[in-house]
Amino acid sequence: MSRHSAPHWPVWLVLIGAIALVSLPLPGFMTPFRPPWAAIAIIYWVMMWPRVFGVGSAWIIGLLLDVMQGELLGQNALALSVISYLTLRFHLQIRIFPLWQLTMTVFALLSINAFILFWIDGVAGNPPAGFARWTQVLVGGILWPPVMAIMDRIRERIENRSSTFYVPR
Amino acid sequence: MELSTPDSDQRAFRNTGYGLRLVVLCILSIAVMVLDHNNEHLKSMRQILSAAVHPIRLIIDAPFSLGHWIGDSAATRDELTEENRRLTEQNLIQSARLQRYVALEAENARLRALLDSTAKVSGRVLIGEIMSVDMNPFRHRITINKGSNDGAYVGQALIDADGIIGQVVRDQFFSAEALLITDIDHALPVEIVRSRLRTIAMGSGDLERLTLPFLPRNADVVDGDILVTSGLGGTFPPGYPVGIINKISGDRGEPFLIVSAQPAASLNRIREVLLIWPDPDAAQRAAADDQDSPAASLPDEASGEQP
């Protein structure tokens, strides 16, 4: 029952860290290779802690991301809540996938995310982001296995530490 | 990875209503987007959220500021002496120019008085720093560390030592978002100094290039012409350098020339910007608002402010 008692705030820190990573200044030529960190983090935590993180928290993170990026308010919020819904809906299936299949799923989810953003840009009349948005999806998919390994470490630490507090002696 | 955990129990999870939540949030997102697209409706909401994420901005910016600070602190004595010498020299040259400028300004005011038109004086300025925070990488936008608390307002012009940079598009409490003149959505009324021909310079999405799409084939424009702001439209004060025309081409059949210009300010290397209050009345009001702020205004002789 560790994850019910585990504190949530470290995960919020991780999610806010993901927003910060999206806004971290990089030289211009790196733009096409910046993975969509916030979407990746949301997918992971919704998949692993579906009772704690869901559509609502994804929406809040998306809204903060919109403000940070100066984009249309609600754009990332919509995209992230849709992919968090899909993750939530299929989290039992996704979790038992072998790693390559899981990576493909994440790749598909990130593509949906990028497509929603692309679509809203089009409807709102913003200039199209071009090819870079799709290379970002590709980079995000490729980085999924190492990122997942790091996140697993973080999650284990959070869960184990909290369980030591609650174990009856 | 765990396969079966108590909280992923299918039965326990079935009726949490997340599908309904998704529908509600989607509708909410769309409503927010529609309201935000018509700009003004959600200004206060955006300001509050922006104040909430301001700590994140500061944290991201901190290592870069620290880097600059360390770079400044670790500069050797020789470097500082050298820089000091260079700045003194520059100061001397510019003071000499300024003397002439004062005389010219007086003469200009006299001539304008003869023509019965009022002289335009530039107002207060304020130095803002660009925060090292990347915005949407596909737009040319920057975040500066001065916001509505410092008197920045939407539509305010930003310049640096070389020329026009852009304008404020969103003023938040502690920071402001500005659109660079090279953003694909930006248009700027300009005037060619040599021929006094007025036209519009549009952003190209490339930091090194502005385009002038509305020049007819017979327009008096040559390579190397200097563009300054014309002051039409009222956002940008007149007479600030915008760029230099570096390419003119055009097909015979086309009604317009294809002209591009290099921005005067090096937009990918700026760190400090000047926010200017072109309207003297507004400047005085803003100055009255935060008189005790130390960074509020440069000395009068630097800004050319007149009482």
Show the domains of chain A with their CATH numbers. Answer: 2-157 (1.10.1760)
| Total number of domains in chain B | 1
- In the block, tokens 């990026």 appear at A69
pLDDT for the residue B292: 44
pLDDT for the residue A81: 93
pLDDT for the residue A40: 94
Choice among A2-11, B111-120, B137-146, B152-161 with the minimum mean pLDDT: B111-120
| Interface touch B22/A82, C-beta < 8 Å | yes
Q: Is the pLDDT of residue B282 over 90?
A: no
* A1, A23, A101, A117, best to mutate vs chain B, most B CBs in 10 Å: A23
Average pLDDT over residues B253-274: 85
Is B210 among the domain residues? yes
Q: Is the pLDDT of residue B44 over 60?
A: yes
pLDDT for the residue B184: 85
Q: Is the pLDDT of residue A106 over 50?
A: yes
B187 Cβ contact partners less than 8 Å away, ≥ 6 residues apart: B200, B201, B202, B203
pLDDT for the residue B123: 65
- In the block, tokens 């000499």 appear at B96
Tens digit of each residue's pLDDT (9 = 90 or more) over A24-70: 877 777 778 889 999 999 999 999 888 888 899 999 999 999 888 88
Report chain B's mean pLDDT, rounded to a whole number: 79
To the nearest whole angstrom, how far is the Cα of A102 from the nearest Cα of chain B? 12
Average pLDDT over residues A67-95: 89
Is the pLDDT higher at B106 or at B248?
B248
Is B168 among the domain residues? yes
Of A23, A56, A77, Cβ closest to residue B29? A77
Is the pLDDT higher at B55 or at B5?
B55
Pairing of strands B125-129, B272-276: antiparallel
Q: What is the CATH number of the domain that holds B242?
A: 2.40.10.340
Average pLDDT over residues B274-295: 58
Chains A, B: CB pairs < 8 Å:
139
| Interface touch B136/A49, C-beta < 8 Å | no
Provide the percentage of residues in chain A whose pLDDT is more than 70: 90
Tens digit of each residue's pLDDT (9 = 90 or more) over B7-40: 545 555 554 677 888 888 899 998 888 888 876 6
Q: How far apart are CA B168 and CA B147, in angstroms?
A: 10
Hey, CA dihedral for A41, A45, A46, A48, is it positive or negative?
positive
Provide the percentage of residues in chain B whose pLDDT is more than 70: 81
Planar angle of CA B210, B213, B214, nearest 5 degrees: 130
Side chain identity at residue B289, one-letter code: D
Is B87 among the domain residues? no
What pLDDT band is residue B285 in, cutting at 50, 70 and 90?
low
What does the block give as tokens for B39?
A: 């700009």
Phi/psi class of residue B232: alpha, beta or left (left: φ > 0; alpha: ψ in -120 to 50)? beta
pLDDT for the residue B13: 52
pLDDT for the residue B305: 38
Q: Which domain holds residue B172?
A: 124-300
Q: How far apart are CA A34 and CA A24, in angstroms?
A: 10
DSSP state of B244: E
Q: Is the pLDDT of residue B178 over 60?
A: yes
Q: Residue B183's closest chain A neighbor by CA?
A: A127
| Interface touch A54/B21, C-beta < 8 Å | yes
What does the block give as tokens for B16?
A: 């949490």
- Put simply, whether A8 touches B (Cβ < 8 Å) is no
pLDDT for the residue B306: 38
Is B31 among the domain residues? no
What pLDDT band is residue B131 in, cutting at 50, 70 and 90?
confident
DSSP state of B74: T
Q: How far apart are CA A58 and CA A73, in angstroms?
A: 14
List helix spans (H) across chain B.
Answer: 10-13, 18-37, 43-73, 77-115, 280-289, 300-303
Is B79 among the domain residues? no
Report chain A's mean pLDDT, rounded to a whole number: 85
**Total Cβ atoms within 10 A of residue B247:** 12
B158 Cβ contact partners less than 8 Å away, ≥ 6 residues apart: B128, B144, B164, B165, B166, B167, B168, B178, B273, B274, B275, B276
Bridge partners of B53, per DSSP, are: none
Q: Is the pLDDT of residue B111 over 50?
A: yes
Query: Whose CA is closest to B119, among B131, B129, B132, B106?
Result: B106
Within 8 A of B51 by CB-CB distance, chain A residues are none
Q: How far apart are CA B117 and CA B113, in angstroms?
A: 6
Q: Is the pLDDT of residue B147 over 70?
A: yes
Is the pLDDT higher at A145 or at B206?
A145
To the nearest whole angstrom, how far is the Cα of B242 from the nearest Cα of chain A? 23
Is B148 among the domain residues? yes
Q: How far apart are CA A161 and CA B80, in angstroms?
A: 52
What does the block give as tokens for B181?
A: 């003149």
pLDDT for the residue A140: 92
Is B228 among the domain residues? yes
Bridge partners of B241, per DSSP, are: B228
DSSP state of B181: T
pLDDT for the residue B267: 82
What does the block give as tokens for B280?
A: 């003297």
Bridge partners of B211, per DSSP, are: B202, B260
- The number of angstroms, rounded, from the C-alpha of B231 to the middle of its chain's C-alpha atoms is 16
Query: Whose CA is closest to A47, among A155, A159, A160, A150?
Result: A155
What pLDDT band is residue A86 in, cutting at 50, 70 and 90?
very high
Is B226 among the domain residues? yes
pLDDT for the residue A169: 41
Side chain identity at residue B203, one-letter code: G
pLDDT for the residue A62: 93
Q: How far apart are CA A83 and CA A55, in angstroms?
A: 9
